[in-house]
Structure 1
Amino acid sequence: MKITITDAASKWFHDDMGVTTGNGVRFFGKTYGKTAVHSGFSIGLMRDDEPHNPIVETVKDGVNYYVNDRDEWFFKGYNLTVDYDKNNDGPSYDYEPNGE
């Protein structure tokens, strides 16, 4: 699995969530909702500066974006690209199969 954060998404995280160098953002699966690859589950995110057993991490503009091992079930088999959706004024998510 790989996480890609676009420049536009990074700007949103900095401007709207107030993250700065050294901060972290954790992505996780949560019940209810729907994604392009999951029915009954949606993606969540939260500011969390202390990863716990991350399975994947990427640093963009000084911020660590990651998924912990307990959420592997949600992301297994996919790479995640996080972009900015101007219509919703928030992040958008693209799941690309990675052959896992």
Structure 2
Amino acid sequence: MKFEVSLEAANWYKKEMDVKQGDYVQYYVQLYGGIPTAHPNYSLGMSIGKEGDVAVKDVVEGITFYFNENNSWFLNEFDMKVVVEGEELAFVFHEK
């Protein structure tokens, strides 16, 4: 399980969502809707706030991006990288 956030994606969060150094961005699994993923019927949601139960993380530009223990299963079969394509975030999944 590899989880990576590109520098461009971290800067996107800073510009578009006013995320600052020291903030935490949590990704969580939800049924349908939201960010499309490699898992059929599941998508990603995200929240910005304080650190929670961190299972896997990447710290970029002082911002901690993470999945908690309850949602880390989402990356068991995939590596995931958050990138910017055009002017939008994209979530790239690669099977292990």
**Which TM-score bucket, shorter chain as reference?**
0.7 to 0.9
User: Where does the alignment leave 5 or more consecutive residues of structure 2 unmatched?
Assistant: none
Deviation of 1:25 (Å): 0.4
List structure 1 runs of 4+ shifted beyond 3 angstroms. Answer: none
8 Å contact from structure 1 (residues 4, 58) kept in 2: yes
Matched, 1:95 2:90: no
- Pairing of 1:55-94 with structure 2 (within 5 A): 55-86=55-86, 89-94=87-92
Query: Percent identity, aligned pairs only?
Result: 24
- Cα deviation, residue 85, structure 1: 2.6
User: Structure 1: any 5+ residue segments left out of the alignment?
Assistant: none
Q: Distance in 1 between matches of 2:75 and 2:2?
A: 10
How far has the Cα of 1:16 moved from its partner?
Answer: 0.8
What's 1:49 paired with?
A: 50
Q: TM-score, normalised by structure 2?
A: 0.86
Deviation at 1:49, TM superposition (A): 2.0
How far the C-alpha of 1:74 sits from its partner, in A, is 2.0
Q: TM-score normalised to the size of structure 1?
A: 0.83
Superposition CA RMSD, Å: 1.5
Q: Which amino acid aligns with 1:22?
A: G
Aligned length: 94
